[in-house]
Amino acid sequence: MTNSKKYGFTTTTLHSDRQKTIEHGSLHKPIHTSVTFGYNDARELATVFQGKQSGYRYGRQGNPTVSALEDKINKMEEGLGTICFATGMAAIGAVTQALLREGDHVVSSAFLFGNTNSLWQTVGIQGIDVSMVDATDVKHVEAAITPATRIVFVETIANPRTQVADLARIGKLCAERGIVYIVDNTMTSPYLFKPKTVNASIVINSLTKSIGGHGNALGGSLTDTGLFDWSRFPNILETYKRNPAPQWALAQIRAKALRDFGGSLGPEAAHHLAVGSETMALRMDRECKNALAVTQMLEADPRVAAVYYPGLPSHPQHAISTELFRAYGSLFSFELKDGIDCFDYLNRLKLGVSASNLGDTRTLVIPVSHTIFYEMGAERRASMGIAESLIRVSIGIEDTDDLVEDFRQALDVA
């Protein structure tokens, strides 16, 4: 494999470690557990600390195993650079910690993962103004922008109701206004969609989900696509302007968020995630096929009140999803008709596991209002269109016919 030839997604992911020399001819980057790194020449140590030479200082700020994963994710997203964190939430939190100041304004999609919604609430009481809008139409984003707006934040496919943001038109708007455009790509993954194609400035991925894919390691990443001109951004400290302007944000985030707050990804987790990523495309092809088959069955059943999946023609953003995404993802949700208890239904499933993760090889199901969105209260849930009977499904790689039959038989008993 050479750097000059452009290979396919899986080929590139499989062989990315070998683009650099690996110890002893290993095919995977080994797990480097050392917390600290020694130098024979004390002057060399000083130049590394001063940023004049690349190298490792302390495990909280970087590690060879984690660096190999960062390279892998960066190739997936075709980025300028990537920083990995202990979790996806740590990656999102890094944005608020490193790039925002009191008095700044953020425009965010109102259709968000529950913990991200909670984070924006926290940021809001710390002096940063946050406007939550319906991002399925760019006009709502545009109406919310003020002179203090520094960031627009959206998810590609919202969790759990699967609303799809007006990604391309929001990206065009942000480019015109000089606003940092952050896209959380977790629900699509770099295999199904590259936010760089819609002018995203920064891409967030929860590596725990489809990239790692096996529910055995936490991780998150933040990728700078190289599209934003950081010389236009007012919140870069002079210290980090020693670097070329395209590197300013990454340097500040690595120092002010990763180093200072310590949300570092461990080498063991990085290794699990890197190995899991090698089969992402294969897993997601099966998961997307399974999701479409199960949602088609559920939509046709009179005992189901509503099904939310971008792959269905009935979905409000089906057309934009078809235009932008390779496929429609592994997440869907549905509501049962009145009189069918969602807990009883879930307990009748033989294959679906009641659990809160996403992007696992196994099918995971959860009653949304009573668990992951319980804390936000009934009024906020209603504003997001989350019914009390809503069930979220992260479909796995089980055989398609087995899954269709399982979700059907649980209805038959009802």
Q: Do 355 and 405 belong together in one domain?
A: yes
- Same structural domain for residues 169 and 316? no
Same domain (yes/no): 291, 160: no
**Which pLDDT score, from 0 to 100, does residue 15 have?**
87
Pair (127, 76) in one structural domain:
yes
Q: Cis omega (within 30 of 0) on the bond before 310?
A: no
What letter would DSSP give residue 247?
A: G
Residue at 254 is within a domain: yes
The number of folded domains in the chain is: 2
How far is the C-alpha of 185 from the C-alpha of 30, rounded, in Å?
28
Do 23 and 95 lie in a common domain? Answer: yes
- Give the Cα separation of 194 and 199 in Å (integer): 10
Pairing of strands 105-109, 129-133: parallel
Residue 394: helix, strand or coil by DSSP? strand
Helix (H, G, I), strand (E, B) or coil at 5: coil
Of 245, 277, 309, the domain-final residue: 277
Q: What is the DSSP string of 150-181?
A: EEEEEESB-TTT--B--HHHHHHHHHHHT-EE
- Residue 150 pLDDT: 98
Whether residues 268 and 306 fall in one domain = no
Reported as a single tens digit per residue, the pLDDT across 349-367 is 999 999 999 999 999 999 9
Structural domain range at position 366: 280-410
CATH number at residue 31: 3.40.640.10
**According to the model, what pLDDT value does residue 58 have?**
85
Which of 233, 254, 277 finishes a domain? 277
Residues 243, 298, single domain; the answer is: no
Q: Which of 229, 244, 277 is the last residue of a domain?
A: 277
Low-confidence ranges of the chain (pLDDT < 70): 1-4, 414
Question: pTM of the entire structure?
Answer: 0.94
Q: Give domain status of residue 32, yes or no.
A: yes
Q: What is the pLDDT of residue 383?
A: 79
> Residues 272, 371: one domain?
no
Report the pLDDT value the prediction gives residue 25, as an integer from 0 to 100.
82
Residue partners of 356: CB distance under 8 A and separation at least 6? 364, 366, 371, 372
Shared domain check, 61 and 125: yes
Examine the domain organization and report whether 300 and 271 are in the same domain: no
Residues 202 and 310 in one domain: no
Task: Clarify whether residues 311 and 328 are in a common domain.
Answer: yes
- 341 in any annotated domain: yes
The CATH number of whichever domain residue 376 belongs to comes to 3.90.1150.10
